[in-house]
Amino acid sequence: MRIFILHFIIFRTFSIILLLSLGSNGSALYAQVKPQVKPPIPNSAAGNSVMDAEISPRSPAGKLSAIAQSLHEKRKERKALQQQLAKATEEDEKKDLQQLIDELKSTINQLNHSFEQIIIDGLDLDPFSDVSSQPFDWKEELILATKPIIDALKDLTEKPRKIEKLRGEIDLLQEQRNLIELALDAMARFQPDTMNQSTKTEFESITKKWLQRQADNVQDLEIARFQMANLEEKNKNWWQSLKIGMVNFVQGRGLTLTIAIVAALSVWLLMRGLLWLYQKKLISPSHRNSIQARLTGYAYRILTGLLVMLTVLITFYLANDFLLLTMAIIILIAVILSFRHLLPHYINEARLLLNIGPVRIGERITYNGLPMQVRSINVDSLLRNPDLKGIVRLPLSVLEDMVSRPDIDEPWFPCRAGEYVMLPDGRFGEVIEQTIELVLLQIKGSLVQFTAADFFRLNLLNLSRQGFVVVATFGIDYQHQAQCLNEVPARLHEALEHALAQAEFSNKIVSLLVEFKEANTNSLDYLIVVNCKGEAASSYFTINRLIQKTCVEVCNRERWIIPFTQLTVHQGEGFRALSERHI
């Protein structure tokens, strides 16, 4: 289950990365084609980025020269703006000039830093910064760490957000246009020629303001509708945008993911190969299940997992893909936090994996009412009964509630396929097949099915495993009482021995016993016991019939009477008196 959840998390993460990548590529494409309507800016504020100052020539000396030239120009612009600021009288103008001066100061500082970095070959100057004066703010650090994901999500939703924003602007501009038209219609009802000079001047000023507002509204509405039409046109050509996004993903983030997966698989295969070589060449088979060997193996697997994760992180870092790097780190932190809650459970599983827990390899446990042997303990542990077909595959979590014990040469099942058994109800049958679920017996030519657990609990007799005996009782009449102790058992023993020697199972007979048993009510009974090997189990009833047949043949030959059951009625005094009364 945990493996399934981990795979699900990885799959969802990959899907999110794919959506974010396509969204970022689509937003970048939209940014290249969307119309830009910007007010003109002063020349002094244009090109304030550091990159403009670091354009070729590529040599360090050329870069220094370009930066120095840019510094000279920026300082000159700053000086001119400061002079304008000193002469300015309006607050709005002073505020705009001060903003431009601050931007130039920031640009000049960046150029000075770039100039110094080129001279000192890009050395890290963080140790010279005043770190103690900047207290650690975990919220700010968390925002910085998750900024790539937030930016990617913003890029993914940029186009729908802009469409919604444009729709709101168009609705507002249309509402303003209606109000402007109503206002101008109201102004048209006045006659400026009938007004005095001061009133006419004020009226014309307000009219001019509303006419300018109408012109601005028309222009803004046209621009908004043009942008909306452009975005809707891009939506119609969604297949082309998707194709471009997919191509950009494959060439960018998709390629990074592929390289990371290939690198991780390479490290995993290399480590697996080294482990296989170590287990096959350096460890003897008798020590592979020892605690030291299992501990070494699982420690090596943990090291393999860490190396695989480190390989993925390094790949993302070298590719400068901080979105993938941040998401990989978040997943890693989530996995580590989940281990904190599952630590006791994992400790128990670790004891099982190291073969020092309550269940150990090679020992005997009871599962579903059947004795099972623990063949292996791993993510999926294997249980097997040597006398039954099939195996049971169990997760480690199930083994935690079990306890095994060493095997002391106990039978694993009462019988095996091909053996003959006698059921408690007297039925005799051959075992056709037995699995961990079912046992099939052939009884009187028909197949009878039992569940393996129920069959295991039956108090049955296995005639094939350790051999069996056939016990029979035969009686003769009391008139042969004089010869019943010597002659009769000798003749019966001789005849039975000869008959068994002539039978097809003669080599499977171990011993024969014929003895006087008891003086029964109507007969003198003899006990006949035939001890047989297990291979003769299929002839169990045949042996019994042969015993009775041979005994009858001896009686016929020797003219011995075989008695039958008789009922003797004893008449007491009361019965006699009753009879005489009726007479």
Q: pLDDT tens across 197-208, in order?
A: 888 788 888 888
Query: How far apart, in whole angstroms, are the C-alpha atoms of residue 512 and residue 531?
Result: 6
Share of the chain above pLDDT 70, in %: 73
Q: What is the CATH number of domain 342-407?
A: 2.30.30.60
Worst-scoring range by mean pLDDT, 228-242, 491-505, 521-535? Answer: 228-242
Share of the chain above pLDDT 90, in %: 24
* Mean pLDDT, residues 367-371 taken together: 91
* Mean pLDDT, residues 378-398 taken together: 87
CA distances from 362 to 258, 289, 389, 406 (A): 43, 10, 18, 8
Q: How confident is the model at residue 38 (pLDDT cuts 50, 70, 90)?
A: very low
Judged against a pLDDT cut of 80, whether residue 286 lies above it is answered with no
> Residue for token digits 């249309």?
174
Q: How far is CA 17 from the centre of its chain?
A: 20
Helix, strand or coil, per DSSP, at residue 436: coil
Query: What pLDDT sits at residue 395?
Result: 84
Q: How confident is the model at residue 155 (pLDDT cuts 50, 70, 90)?
A: low
Query: What pLDDT sits at residue 244?
Result: 67
What pairing do the DSSP bridges indicate for beta strands 428-434 and 438-443? antiparallel
Domains 342-407 and 468-558 share a fold: no
Query: What pLDDT sits at residue 163?
Result: 77
Sign of the CA dihedral running 103, 104, 105, 106: positive
Per domain, the residue ranges of the chain are 1-37+157-251, 42-129, 256-322, 342-407, 420-460, 468-558
Q: Which pTM was predicted?
A: 0.46
Question: What is the secondary structure of 379-428 as a DSSP string?
Answer: SEEEEE-TTSB-EEEEEHHHHTT---B---S--SSS--TT-EEE-TTS-E
Buried b or exposed e, range 211-226, using 16+ CB within 10 angstroms = eebbeebeebbeebee
Worst-scoring range by mean pLDDT, 2-11, 408-417, 514-523, 535-544? Answer: 2-11
H or E segment to which residue 328 belongs: helix 322-341
Query: What pLDDT sits at residue 190?
Result: 82
- Rounded mean pLDDT of the chain? 78
Judged against a pLDDT cut of 70, whether residue 241 lies above it is answered with no
Q: pLDDT tens across 547-571, in order?
A: 999 999 999 999 999 987 654 444 5
Q: In terms of Cα–Cα distance, which of 538, 442, 542 is closest to 500?
A: 542
Judged against a pLDDT cut of 60, whether residue 12 lies above it is answered with no
Q: How confident is the model at residue 514 (pLDDT cuts 50, 70, 90)?
A: very high
Query: What pLDDT sits at residue 580?
Result: 55
Q: Which range is most confident: 209-223, 225-239, 248-262, 336-350?
A: 209-223
Looking at domain 468-558, which CATH architecture does it have? 2-Layer Sandwich (3.30)
Judged against a pLDDT cut of 80, whether residue 531 lies above it is answered with yes
Query: How far apart, in whole angstroms, are the C-alpha atoms of residue 106 and residue 351?
Result: 62
Query: Which of the two residues, 452 and 379, has the higher pLDDT score?
Result: 452
Q: Exposure of 512 by Cβ count < 10 A (0-12 exposed, 13-18 middle, 19+ buried)?
A: middle
Query: Which of the two residues, 155 and 219, has the higher pLDDT score?
Result: 219
H or E segment to which residue 438 belongs: strand 438-443
Query: How far apart, in whole angstroms, are the C-alpha atoms of residue 481 and residue 255?
Result: 107
Judged against a pLDDT cut of 60, whether residue 236 lies above it is answered with no
Query: What pLDDT sits at residue 204?
Result: 83
Worst-scoring range by mean pLDDT, 234-248, 301-315, 386-400? Answer: 234-248
Worst-scoring range by mean pLDDT, 40-54, 149-163, 325-339? Answer: 40-54
* Mean pLDDT, residues 271-278 taken together: 81
Q: Which range is most confident: 17-31, 54-68, 132-146, 223-237?
A: 223-237
Q: Which range is most confident: 79-88, 307-316, 434-443?
A: 434-443
